[in-house]
Amino acid sequence: MAKQVTTVSDEGYSATNEIRDFETTVDANGEAAPDTLETLLAAYGSCYVPALRVGGQQRGADDLGRIEIDIDGDLNDDDKLESVRFDVRVEADVDDDTGDEIIDRAFELCKVHDALKDGLHADTTFESDAF
């Protein structure tokens, strides 16, 4: 199984992404839409939510209720992502040890977290004069 997205940019730094029957816009400058790093952080958080829920179920917290994650991405001097911080809040009453276990398990389950590992690099082809 594979995932497929088509990204199109007719001009400038904004791109439209066609994902199945959905369309999203990302603007590298962050003027007309979220920028690339904001979009990455949103995808990371969106992936971590179901991972928290499954991790909670696997660690005896069957229903975490409402989940909110404040995500901060710190940039280096080149405006590249240097670190990510999650501040996770859940509605359920979970003791600290179980919370730590849920967090650890969620990172094991989160596909975006896995994709951010150092060893992953996109295999790339380049075609000029394609249009």
Phi, psi of 107 (to 5 degrees): -65, -35
Q: DSSP label at 122?
A: -
Q: What confidence tier does 117 reach under pLDDT thresholds 50, 70, 90?
A: confident
Domains of the chain with CATH codes = 1-34 (no CATH), 35-115 (3.30.300.20)
Q: Which of 12, 21, 10, 16 is nearest to 39 (CA)?
A: 16
Per residue in 47-89, pLDDT (tens digit) is 999 999 999 999 999 999 999 999 999 899 999 888 899 999 9
Q: What confidence tier does 120 reach under pLDDT thresholds 50, 70, 90?
A: low
Percent of the chain with pLDDT over 70: 94
Q: What confidence tier does 30 reach under pLDDT thresholds 50, 70, 90?
A: very high
Identify the pLDDT of residue 23.
97
Identify the pLDDT of residue 83.
87
**CA max distance for the chain:** 59
Pairing between β-strand 67-75 and β-strand 22-27 as defined by DSSP bridges: unpaired
Phi, psi of 83 (to 5 degrees): -155, 160
Position 121 pLDDT exceeds 80: no
Position 39 pLDDT exceeds 80: yes
Q: DSSP label at 32?
A: S
Q: DSSP label at 91?
A: S
